Amino acid sequence: MGETVRFGVSMDSGLVELLDRLSHQHGDENRSETIRNLVRQEVINTSSNDDKREVIATLTLMYNYETKVPRVSIKPYPSVKITANMQMHAEDEICVKILVVKGLACEVRAWAQKLLSNKKIISNLTINATDELYKELL
Asked whether the beta carbons of 39 and 68 are under 8 A apart, the reply is: no
Report yes or no: 77 and 111 within 8 Å, Cβ to Cβ: yes
pLDDT the model gives residue 109? 92
Q: Do residues 93 and 65 make contact, with C-beta atoms less than 8 angstroms apart?
A: yes
pLDDT band at 60 (very low <50, low <70, confident <90, very high): very high
Query: Looking at the 3D structure of the chain, how many domains does it have?
Result: 2
- Do 80 and 113 belong to one domain? yes
Same domain, 59 and 115: yes
Are 125 and 60 members of one domain? yes
Q: Do residue 36 and residue 63 come from a single domain?
A: no
pLDDT band at 14 (very low <50, low <70, confident <90, very high): very high
Q: Which of 12, 7, 44 is nearest to 128 (CA)?
A: 44
For 112-126, b/e burial (b = at least 16 CB within 10 A) is: beebeebeebebebe
Task: Give the separation between CA 55 and CA 110, rounded to whole angstroms.
Answer: 13
Query: Do 44 and 103 touch, CB atoms closer than 8 A?
Result: no
- The model's pTM: 0.73
- What range defines the domain where residue 35 resides? 13-48
3-class secondary-structure state, position 103:
strand
Q: pLDDT tier at 1 (50, 70, 90 boundaries)?
A: low
75 and 124 housed in the same domain: yes
In terms of Cβ atoms closer than 10 Å to its own Cβ (0-12, 13-18, 19+), residue 74 is middle
Backbone angles phi, psi at 99, to 5 degrees: -115, 135
Task: Indicate whether 62 and 122 sit together in one domain.
Answer: yes
Mean pLDDT of 77-92: 94
